[in-house]
Amino acid sequence: MITSSMMISVIIIIMITALNMISKKSTYDREKSSPFECGFDPKNSSRLPFSLHFFLIAIIFAIFDVELTLFLPLVLLTKKLSSKKFLICISSFFIILLYGLIHEWKEGALNWVN
């Protein structure tokens, strides 16, 4: 058992070493990595600027959207819990959501113009 697993390991190591030696090594070529524009050098950058603030707003929206989907099953708790426990459960959920929104607001993540 041990000898067969050692033999397999040796064969794998030999194959990896041989493939690394035979494989074509690619070198960095500036012409191949640059964007092609009818044979001329490009006038502008091919990449558009990325708004990190827009990405942050999208992430915050996704987080609050997921929390909203967590709110929907709370309706099923109305049958199982008394009205006092249900009110405590919903109010604590809303307090956590409101705290997160206030925190993001104070951090300036919701201000579009900085």
pLDDT of residue 95: 92
Handedness of CA 92, 98, 101, 106 (dihedral sign): negative
Regions of the chain short of the pLDDT cut 70: 1, 24-48, 113-114
d(CA 11, CA 56): 49
> Virtual CA dihedral for 69, 72, 73, 76, nearest 10 degrees?
180
